[in-house]
Amino acid sequence: MSLGTNIVSDLTRVAKAVPTKLFSFQLFFVIGPFWTISPLGRIALIPRVSAQTTASCNASLDYGWSYNSVNQDPCIVATYLGEACTASLGYMIPAINSSQVYNSSQVYKGPAGAEANTCRCSSVFYMMLSACAACQGGSYSLWPNYSQNCSEVYNSMFPENIPSGTRVPHWAYLNFTTVDGAFNSTEAQQVGGFPESTGTSILASSTSASSTRKIIGSVVGGFVFLCLSAVVVVIYLGRRRRRRVMALEKLIPFPLISQSGSMATATLLPSHSFGQFTLVRPLSKKNITVLQMVSILKVKVVIMTWLDLVHKTFSL
């Protein structure tokens, strides 16, 4: 007898011996672990895909370029975008040739009334919906006709957060209003699907502009910072130089004049000295420079005299 048969017979005997509610509770803990690891249990645990639609692209038409990187056709992506504004009610796109479309020209009409929300009044949703119609072999409305009932339109942007589980191709953000005011499959195919937008509202047409503004702001900010740094350095060096000059003026002894009026060149006493000498006013910067030059000349004269003496000595 197999293990499965033994388990079933044991469970049957338990069911007869205990009340129904208690048996159900015990049965859950008995077969629960086996159910979760079984193939049927794994299928039951797969999360439900929220986007439901009866519209799908015709495989015979050349619209493979319109699929996103997770192999979702424009109809599925458009359904996800529509659900962003009607999460509690759900949103479904009917097939273009179904009776729900209510027109013989097989065109998805624009929203009206309460349906004219921020999602459906976005050109990104319009692009995906138009591609959905085109890939089924149907037609699509011009953007002005589609959005005529919208109190506010959102060109080249999706104002709501992009639902998780989908990726919006880059061509959906195409600024078609500068081309012919309608979805253009040739133009969209040339733009391509990358980079895709996921999980958040992304304005593709302004992404590059935003990056440019950030770069310009960084350059200007860096330039201003360098200018301010240069000013600070100049001020610091100027104050430091003034402090050094003031310290030098304090350290240099003042020349003294005797009571008779003659210059005391033999001895220079500091400013606090007293006696037979009278303090002279502090020298100016110009006078200090002159004295330094005179001192240098004196040193040169002494050196030249010494060298001349040495030369004469060795010449003898």
Torsion sign across C-alpha atoms 86, 90, 96, 97: negative
- 149 vs 266, higher pLDDT: 149
Instruction: Give 183-218 pLDDT, tens digit per residue.
Output: 999 999 999 999 999 975 444 443 444 456 667 778
Q: For 142, list phi and psi in degrees, rounded to 5.
A: -70, 150
Residue 177 · residue 143 · CB < 8 Å? yes
Scan for tokens 């495989």, then name that residue: 59
pLDDT exceeds 50 at position 144: yes
165 vs 4, higher pLDDT: 165
Task: Delimit the domains of the chain by residue range.
Answer: 3-45, 64-202, 212-251
Chain-wide mean pLDDT for the chain? 73
Strands 256-258 and 263-264: antiparallel
Tell me the pLDDT tens digit for each residue of 41-96: 433 333 334 567 889 999 999 999 999 999 999 999 999 999 999 977 889 999 99
On whether the pTM is more than 0.85, the answer is: no
Phi-psi region of 85 (alpha: psi -120 to 50; beta: other; left: phi over 0): alpha
Q: Measured between alpha carbons, how far is 122 from 301 in angstroms, rounded to an integer? A: 93
Contact 82, 91 (CB under 8 A): yes
Q: Residues 16-29: what's their mean pLDDT?
A: 42
Q: How would you class 56 by CB atoms within 10 Å of its CB: exposed for 0-12, middle for 13-18, buried for 19 or more?
A: middle
Which residue, among 118, 90, 94, has the nearest Cα to 107 in the 3D structure?
94
pLDDT, tens digit, 9 for 90 and up, residues 213-237: 667 778 788 878 888 888 888 788 7
Contact indicator for 130, 140 with CB cutoff of 8 Å: yes
Checking if the pLDDT of 117 tops 50, the result is yes
User: Contact 156/195 with Cβ under 8 angstroms?
Assistant: no
